[in-house]
Each structure stands twice: as structure tokens, then as C-alpha cells.
Structure 1
């Protein structure tokens, strides 16, 4: 570079670094680092999106309180009753998926109602913050160790308002999860799914069906902690009526099975929520091809 060119280049750099130009340059640079949009998809008036900020997380927590405590069988402590929100320490580190109905009557604050939600926790975030929620009930450490090269996502706190428990809402929730999985390049989904009730004897048929027909192969298997484990194998396989058993499965568990999920070994009684929990293990590689085609390999079916 000649002396004249060097001088001109130096002068241009000095000009860019002057106060009146710094803001403009920084703004231009920041356009290359825009965070991904919160909206993950739309289906008619319904939108699936990630909660942004504490206020939106509180909206998801209020929906969970309504479904789990007010209308469900969960037992609230004093703090939960006062707050009228289902919350725990994991909420701070999770992403929260919300379905919003833009055609519904707005609340007093002018916001459209949240009608469905899911809580999402990526492995790298869990490992920085003490682990997964699922570890309270199931020994998943060995499962993760066996697949050390894969990235896990925990699904939890799923709930939908009764009038929205239909194909459209569930499909949009799954579209949101699939978009999130593709965006973060995740490989395996895990989480607890629940039966209402804490008497496993009354759940003998569906629990036995899951044990005999949907148990994870050894490489994907994880067991309930011995101190909390409840036997799922309560009926012989030949005594099971599969059609009747499927009828008794909660819609969420049936949905997981249709996608290609496996079930862990043993169940756990959750007395706070009044449920019997089973472990869901769903490798992305095991998801039925027809569902991937339905939502699109790159989650394009209901893209916003």
C-alpha cells in the first residue's frame, strides 16, 4: 500500500470512529445478529410462539395454574394459591411455548388469551443449572451418557384449555416444538407424561399396555428411581385388549406414541399433581417419516 492510500484509509477509519458515526455503524452491525423471531407458526387465528420476558412467562404460569390446580387435581401450597400461578425454579431457565388465540376476546389488560403451553429445556442449559426436571423421577443420566454425542430436549408442563383440546391446537403445539428442535439442532426429546390418578391398580390396563407394546429398547431405556418406582407390568400381555388399552391412554401419550416415542421402565406417583407419570423418550431419528413430511423437514407447514 502506498503512503497516500494508507493515509486515506487511516482518515476513513478515524471518521467512522467519531461519536456521530459510532451509533450508525453499531446499528448496521447489529442487523447481522438479530435474535430469531418469537413466533414459530400460525394456523388460522392461532399463533404458536415463545414467551418473551417475565410477563409472558407469568401468562403461561397462570394457564398452568388454571388447568392443573383450579380445574385439575394438583394440590396447591399457600404460595401457589396466593400467586395463582404454577411456578418452580425451572421456569427461570426454560423456554416457554405458548399458543395464543387472536380471535378470542382480549383480557382486561388487552392481551389475547394463552390457550396452550409447553415448557422446553435444552440439555446445555440444564447442565449449567443443576440438571433436568425429569431427573427428579427417572434416572436419565445413563441414557444421556449412552448417547453422549446427541443433544437432548426436555418437554414438560404441557397443558391446553379444555375447549382448545382439538387437532388444530395440538398440531400447532407440535409444529412449534418441531420448529424449535430444528432451530437448535436437537436430537432427542424426553419428559414425563401423566395419567390422572395415583392408584396404579386402576391404571393396570394402560400401564401394562405401555410396558408390553411401547417399552424403549435397551439402548434408549431409562428407569424410574428405585425409591419411587411403580411397576407397570401389571397384566400379562395375552390378557391385554390393545383397543381398550388405547382408549384409556391420555391423548398426549397417544400423540407421543403416534410420533414414534418409546416409554421408559417403571412409573412414578406424583402426589402433588395427583398423577401417575411415565417417561417419554423420543429420538428425532425414530419420528415417523409421515409426520416429518406433514410438518416439513424444516418446519415449514405452519410457518409464520
Structure 2
């Protein structure tokens, strides 16, 4: 049972093991979204994470024992969704990984000891309330500089949706972050989430780490449009998809962020986006 998980995930030797016979999930132009098939592809995803989280953003948490890798004990138990640039081979002729997501379902979480988000939120209580639903955790999302455009994000979302449909998941969830550890800096944006997209009681999750309650400001104390503009792009995307949020934001000193828990029940997804990507995730389907 997930509520009996230990706090420390068990580290096991890393191995690439996509959970399907067809790892390629979609293509758009020269980009391909797929599940990592080899240890080299997983390492490339970790190198990208290191470049973005540690070199670009100056994070200190989760730096691996190996130089220039962002890794932790969860990596060995997850699927790694990657976007590769087919037209930009390196000197070794490998295709560079330019975007990634880490995906973890209940069985993977059981092997790891817990979901990653359980360090900040009481995920076990949520799973108990919805024991008949299949949950998929998203994490470690990042895109390489030079590829942070609509095409890359669209393909990353397409691959995520294709994975969800292929495996029959009912709920997507995970933490999304604001830079810095002072919630007051993001008071308007956090208040917007708390006022307009707070999860109902059946989806609520309590924080188990230092946190602040949402909303922080009264509706008359901030401008909603300005607050929306100040949201990180990934959170804007989640809102458009129909995401709902836990009522507490966690302060993560190790990574230097303020984190919110995002919940995306498939049944509540914005129909516009379901139509756009296709109920069967066929929009950018690989030939």
C-alpha cells in the first residue's frame, strides 16, 4: 500500500525499460517525442536536467554523484519521456535530447518507496480517496535553451497525452515551481491559483512540509490579468488544460523554489485541447 511507503526510495541499478513495444509517441518537423530506450538516452535527459536546473538556475538539490548529471533514486524506477532533434546530431552522431519529462505510475512508486511529490504532500490520502483511478506523476520537466517555443512544448504535451491514453491513466499530477523561496514575491500569482483553480475537497491534498495557504491576497488586493502574466509558462499551460491545485504551496529550500501541487483529472481536461491533440492522441502520431 502506498500509505506504507518508506521516506527513502531504494536505489537500484539504472536500466532503460520503456513500458511498451513502440517507444516513439509522435513527430513534428525534425523533432521526435519518445520514451528513452537506452541508458545513453536516460543519461542525456539527466545532462539536460543538470544544465537547466543546476547550471542555468543554480539549484543545489538532486545533483548526482556523477559530474553534470541531475539524478536521484527515483530515476531508475521511472519512464523518461524525451524529445530529440533528429536533425542536430553531435560529433558522436547521437541525437540531442532537447526536452524531457519523468513519468511515474503507482507500480513504479511502489518500487521506489513513494511518489516523488510525497516528500511535500500527503499523496497517500489522495490515492485512498480515489483507489479505483490510475494516477501518473509528472516531474523534472525542462526544455533546452533555443527550443523553448510552441513547437517543442506542443510535442512534449502530445507525447505526454499519448502516454496517458496508451496506459489508461485517469489522473495526472505533480509539483510545479516558482523561482525563489519567498511566497510574497509570487503572492498575486499564487492568489490567482487559489481563487480561480483551487481543487474541490475530494481532490485536496495537505502539505507535509513548510507551506503557506492559498490564496495569500484578497481578490480586491491584486489584478488578475497581471497575476496571470506573471505565472511561469508551464503553469499557464496547466491552467489552460483545466488543472486544479492544492490549497497549500510548499517552500522547497533545497531547490530554492515555492512549489504547488497540480492535479489534472483526465475527465476534467479542457475539451478544446482534447479535440486538438485527439482523443486517441493522433495529432502528431508517428508514421
User: Among residues 280, 284, 287, which one is paired with 2:262 in the alignment?
Assistant: 280
**Is the CA contact (8 Å cut-off) linking 1:107 and 1:113 kept in structure 2?**
yes
- Structure 1 residue 51 displacement after superposition: 0.4
**Is the CA contact (8 Å cut-off) linking 2:78 and 2:104 kept in structure 1?**
yes
User: Among residues 82, 86, 107, which one is paired with 1:98 in the alignment?
Assistant: 82
User: Among residues 99, 110, 130, which one is paired with 1:127 in the alignment?
Assistant: 110
| Aligned twin of 2:12 | none
| Aligned twin of 1:55 | 40
User: Among residues 203, 208, 212, which one is paired with 2:186 in the alignment?
Assistant: 203
| Aligned twin of 1:75 | 60
**Residues 137 and 264 (structure 1), Cα distance of their counterparts in 2 relative to 1, 3 Å cut:** same
**Is the CA contact (8 Å cut-off) linking 2:73 and 2:112 kept in structure 1?**
no
1:301 aligns with 2:273: no
Please, which runs of 5 or more residues in structure 2 have no aligned partner?
A: 1-18
For residues 224 and 281 of structure 2, what CA distance do their matches in structure 1 show?
A: 33
Please, which runs of 5 or more residues in structure 1 have no aligned partner?
A: 1-33
Cα RMSD (Å) of the superposition?
Answer: 1.6
3-state SS, counterpart of residue 266 of structure 1: strand
- Structure 1 residue 218 displacement after superposition: 1.0
Moved over 6 A (4+): none
**Is the CA contact (8 Å cut-off) linking 1:123 and 1:152 kept in structure 2?**
yes
For residues 185 and 170 of structure 2, what CA distance do their matches in structure 1 show?
A: 35
3-state SS, counterpart of residue 281 of structure 2: coil
| Aligned twin of 1:18 | none
Q: Which has a greater percent of helix?
A: 1
**Is the CA contact (8 Å cut-off) linking 2:64 and 2:72 kept in structure 1?**
no
| Aligned twin of 1:157 | 140
For these two proteins, the number of residue pairs brought into alignment is 268
3-state SS, counterpart of residue 236 of structure 2: helix
1:123-272 map, 5 Å = 123-225=106-208, 227-272=209-254
3-state SS, counterpart of residue 219 of structure 1: helix
